[in-house]
Amino acid sequence: MATESSPSARGRGVSGGADGSWSDRFEEGLHPAIERFNASIGFDIALLPQDLDGSVAHARMLGRCGVITTAEAERLIEGLELVRAEAAAGGFNPGLEAEDVHFAVERRLIALIGPLGKKLHTGRSRNDQVGTDLRLWLRQKIDGLDRALLRFQHALLAQAEQHVDTLIPGYTHLQRAQPLSLAHHLLAYVEMAARDRQRLGDVRRRVNICPLGAAALAGTPVPIDRRQTAAELGFEAIYANSLDAVSDRDFAVEFSAAASLILAHLSRLAEEVILWASEEFGFVALTDRCATGSSLMPQKKNPDVPELVRGKAGRVFGHLQALLTMIKGLPLAYNKDFQEDKEALFDVVRTTEDCLEAMAILLEEGIRFRPERLEQAVAADFSNATDVADYLVARDVPFREAYQLVGGLVKRCLAEGLLLRELPLERWQALHPAFEADVYAAIEPRQVVRARRSEGGTGFDRVREQLALMRQRLDPIPAENP
């Protein structure tokens, strides 16, 4: 007979015995270091609301299927709601002995309502339970991230609407290429965010499949109704295969991949803002709302927000790789390795939420574009060289011939320190007789932008069309659920 101080009694809150989560096959408690190593309660307590929701639905289903009486089901639900109320009041703080959130809830339920609480786990396992909790949690987080992306889109759109007529140098290979409407540049990020939202919607459909009732791996002989619990919890379908139900973490990987693309897009914009805010570019000024200073150099105003976003992208990419590595060699069905999915997934969500919010605020009140500086930049380069070639093409000169002529002209202008607009007309006509005085108007930066009228192009009229369409496509930002 084990005494309170004997090795076989210590730690039985986690191991065997009446209060344990394991069977009486185990006589001794875990080594304290292994108990700490094994426990997930320190982070999976975040799933408490979802665990309670799933348990309430499971208890109600057991009652309706006659596995337990209706009165027993109601009492179980009352007890679970008492746990929820305790947690809301800050009075539910399980320790390591609880091992995980599922056992913590069950132990507290038994303490509150007595032996009836031991019936709650009928017809299920922690394997299908944790899969259900995680999907419920992620489904809600995806909805929140969709709202955050929508806010980000609205912030970009608001800036774009102010800057249809503002010019900005367009780049390829980080070399000046052709002038653009600044609104057109910003709308490119609106389109990226639209794809991000589409991807999240696709992921959500695959997250929204219920594993509950698959039990440990093979289903259960208990006469349960899996579709009833799935419907009550808002799932669209149930897993068709019990092995797949408890071992599928594709949704975690797929979500992290979608989040990685969100961070890649945010990081691209962050890098541009960092460049634009430098003295060398000077395209934007940072407001005090989103910039910090230097502890040594009093003149500094640092773009910490975009720098942090650029850096945090690596965290999300790393978690994606960790999740892929976690699942790549696992035999069916459940393995303890899956405990590693939560901290990675939690951090991916938190980091993505934080970065989206920070970049939206940066766009809303953290940067101010400098149209006069942008105008100077566009006027002082050779990004209108293609339009000289287009001018000749419009006058029946073959494009490749025009291309070579203009390339040689740019070379000579660089050697002489001249811009194309500074060349006298006789120099143009010496290059090719098709040139007339209207060439100066044709290569003026605003005309260069205005002329790009092809669908999807940067022409001012086309950009205004796109702004109007985007304003129609974007729903208002919904209020967050309380």
Cβ contact 380:419 at 8 Å: yes
**CA-CA distance, 298 to 294, in Å (whole number)?**
6
Specify whether 256 is catalytic.
no
For 29, list phi and psi in degrees, rounded to 5: -80, 165
Give, in order, the Cα–Cα distances in Å from 5 to each of 8, 28, 94, 343. 8, 12, 22, 35
Beta bridge partners of 368: 285
Catalytic residue selected from 294, 295, 432, 454:
294
**CA-CA distance, 383 to 263, in Å (whole number)?**
31
In the structure encoding, which two tokens stand for residue 255, read together?
Answer: 């979500």
Radius of gyration of the chain (CA): 31
In the structure encoding, which two tokens stand for residue 183, read together?
Answer: 């609104």
Say whether the peptide bond before residue 160 is cis (omega within 30 degrees of 0): no
Q: How many CB atoms lie within 10 A of CB 381?
A: 17
Give the CA count within 13 Å in the CB-facing half-sphere of 42: 9
Size of the chain, expressed as the number of residues it contains: 482
**CA-CA distance, 373 to 284, in Å (whole number)?**
9
Say if residue 343 is exposed, middle or buried (CB neighbours under 10 Å; 0-12, 13-18, 19+): middle
**CA-CA distance, 355 to 259, in Å (whole number)?**
11
Catalytic residue selected from 173, 184, 242, 319:
173
Closest residue by Cα to residue 347 from 329, 322, 327, 310: 322
Q: Rounded to 5, what percent of the chain is helix, strand, coil? A: 60, 5, 35
Q: What is the DSSP letter of 339?
A: G
Specify whether 58 is catalytic.
no
Q: How many CB atoms lie within 10 A of CB 398?
A: 10
Active-site residues, by number, are 173, 294
